[in-house]
Structures are given as C-alpha cells and as structure tokens.
C-alpha cells in the first residue's frame, strides 16, 4: 500500500512540485494545506503517514504547526521544507521533533531519500 502524505506549503506551485515528485515515486498525496492551522485540521482529518511542512507561512508557521501536530500524535513523521539560509529555523524544527528537512528548490532524489528515511 502506498504511503499517504500531506503536503503543506503556502505556495501552490511548491505543493504541485512536491506532489509531482511524490506521485511519480509511488506515494499517495492525500491532502494539501496552505498554512499551519490548515495543516493541523488536515492532519486530524486524514491521519497521513508523513507530512512535508514549509517553515515560513502566513497565519501559522510550520514550526508552530509541527509542535501542535506532535501534541496530537508524538509519533507524527514530519519533514520540514525550507529555503536556503533558514538554518536556525531548521534547528528549531528538528529540536521540536521534525524527522528531516529538505531545501528549496527541491531535488527529486533528495525529497524521496528524506521521505523514505523518515518512514523507515
């Protein structure tokens, strides 16, 4: 059975890029969210195997959303997506329980490697 993934990014283009990489590699994208608050709702509704979470978003950022999802499910597998130069935020995210991070612009093989590692 394909692993079920929730994609969270405020940019529709970025969600589309990740979705394309994932579906081509046999993953099932079960939902998308455009901010951290929506991510928590969708996580509860869809219970995905893994979440890709952008760090910088309006309304609620990815790190706050990560912490909230971890309260709901301490076993939640979340990979952070960040632009270059966000090292401090990436460290915060890892300390808050993120499994890994991928850097934009996305390299397909790096995305798949991070997801497979987080799911194993």
Give pLDDT, residue 104.
86
Q: What are residue 107's phi and psi, to 5 degrees?
A: -100, 120
Instruction: Return the number of other C-beta atoms located less than 10 Å from residue 21's C-beta.
Output: 21
The residue ranges of the chain whose pLDDT is under 70 are: 85
Gyration radius (Cα) of the chain, Å? 12
Give pLDDT, residue 91.
87
Give pLDDT, residue 74.
96
Q: Which of 9, 13, 23, 14 is nearest to 112 (CA)?
A: 23
């Amino acid at each position: 059975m394909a692993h079920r993934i929730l994609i969270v990014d405020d940019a529709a283009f970025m969600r589309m890029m990740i979705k394309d990489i994932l579906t081509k590699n046999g993953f099932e994208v079960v939902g998308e969210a455009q901010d951290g608050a929506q991510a928590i709702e969708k996580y509860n509704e869809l219970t995905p195997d893994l979440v890709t979470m952008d760090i910088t978003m309006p309304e609620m950022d990815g790190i706050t959303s990560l912490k909230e999802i971890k309260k709901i499910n301490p076993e939640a597998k979340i990979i952070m997506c960040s632009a270059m130069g966000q090292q401090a935020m990436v460290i915060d995210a890892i300390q808050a329980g993120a499994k890994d991070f991928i850097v934009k612009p996305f390299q397909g093989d790096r995305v798949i490697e991070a997801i497979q590692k987080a799911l194993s």
